[in-house]
Amino acid sequence: MVTVTEDTQLRRRVDDMLRAVQPSAVPLDAIVRRGNGIRLRRAGAAVVGVGLAGILAVTTLALDVGRQPAAPAAAPTDPAAPGETIATGTADGHAWRLAVQDIADPGSRCVPAITVNGTDADPVYPDPGYSAAVALGAVLPGIAFGFIQLPADIRGIIVNGRRYVPAVTVAACGYRYHVAGFAYSLAQATRITAANPPPGEPTDFAMPDLASKPPATEVTPQSAGVWVNMGRVSGAAASGTLASAGIPEKGWSIAVTFGTGGDCYEFSASSSLGSAQTGACGPVSTPDGPETIMALPLGLPGDATAYAVQVSPRTARLKAFLSNGSSELATPRVVDGRKYAAFVVPNALRLSRLNWLDAAGAVIASTTALPRYGYVQFQP
């Protein structure tokens, strides 16, 4: 059993190691306005002590899902984002658009995904029978968005026995998708049936059960903006190390895995007494979408915190200002055609401001709205 004294010594040694290493800061591009201001989302983080007997707990903020509106009615709207439109409409008075588009940075290998209003992407490839759904939390409480990839001979679906949703054929990155997209209320069970099932084809389609998910708490993470997928999960998947220092036995690293589960980050740190890890997943953005700033605390109050961001193409550096008056610069790394950056704030210090710099060193965005844990999407 690890005693309090041993645990304290471990944390101090990890903190000393982190202080001795210059943290590499985070770059991020121009923040893009979407909606009516700033959307805050906080994700939980799971922390595991490797080589320790105990498990460290990380606190997250609870999500207020608000009132449950009636099922949204579809209404045509003009295209609001690049890509091939799957479906448009209004939900609780807000226009929405589902589209398939390339979410890689310009000049990189094309990565197809299905997006909501040009962001919150689900990187999937054509695969009949595949379905997915996402809820945006406080942005549209009680509303979910979903799509089903259908066999070519099915012309549409019926939602809850009364609403017809036509299937469309759209293209991105050289692939063709035959898909039906729609918005629906989480206040009631959702049943999807084929409008014209040919002999031998399925008549009913399952959707992820978002309604049964409890709100975020101190021990359960939030899922707002992260798609839940059903089927063969045919989609993009890539991983890479964003920042590291030291050696495996005494060092730290921040890595990302990008795929249908979201942008998933892992922060690992080791010392002579053992190692600790923490990880969390956030929404997948697009090159022109809002920026997600992820904070990964190592475990207990006072421990080091890693920050990771999927940054936009214009960003050359991110300048991080710390609470002791110091600052650090970080350069993005490319993972599967998308820029990411990460850095570590050592124990006893806090991140106070982030500035996004272009290739000439000019500030193109700045924020002090920074998470202590979980994630925030910042839209000036």
- Output the six-digit token pair for 371: 């998470």
Domain ranges of the chain: 22-60+236-378, 84-214
- Burial label for 189, CB within 10 Å (0-12, 13-18, 19+), is exposed
Q: CA-to-CA distance for 264 and 233, rounded, in angstroms?
A: 16
Residue 144: phi, psi to the nearest 5? -125, 160
Q: CA-to-CA distance for 28 and 339, rounded, in angstroms?
A: 9
Contacts of 355 (CB under 8 A, 6+ apart): 318, 319, 321, 363, 365, 366
Answer for the pair 89, 77: CB distance below 8 angstroms, yes or no.
yes
Q: What is the pLDDT of residue 82?
A: 56
Q: What is the pLDDT of residue 220?
A: 56
Q: How far apart, in Å, are the Cα atoms of 260 and each of 149, 228, 309, 336?
A: 15, 8, 17, 14
Q: CA-to-CA distance for 107 and 144, rounded, in angstroms?
A: 33
Q: What is the pLDDT of residue 215?
A: 62
Q: What is the pLDDT of residue 108?
A: 93
Instruction: Tell which residue, 215, 231, 232, 294, has the closest CA to residue 258.
Output: 294
Find where tokens 């690890």 sit.
2
- Output the six-digit token pair for 220: 């359960």
Answer for the pair 194, 201: CB distance below 8 angstroms, yes or no.
yes
Q: How far apart, in Å, are the Cα atoms of 365 and each of 32, 35, 317, 327?
A: 10, 18, 11, 16
pLDDT means over runs of 10, the chain (380 residues): 41 43 32 27 31 24 26 33 84 92 93 93 90 90 94 93 94 93 91 88 86 61 84 74 84 93 92 83 91 87 86 94 95 94 92 96 94 81
Q: What is the pLDDT of residue 237?
A: 76
Q: CA-to-CA distance for 61 and 293, rounded, in angstroms?
A: 15
From its phi and psi, is residue 288 left (phi > 0), alpha (psi between -120 and 50) or beta? alpha
Contacts of 20 (CB under 8 A, 6+ apart): none
Contacts of 102 (CB under 8 A, 6+ apart): 83, 110, 111, 112, 113, 172, 173
Q: What is the pLDDT of residue 43?
A: 32
Residue 17's H or E segment, with its range, is helix 4-20
pTM, two decimals, is 0.75
Strand partners, 239: 257
Residue 35: phi, psi to the nearest 5? 75, -145
Q: What is the pLDDT of residue 70?
A: 31
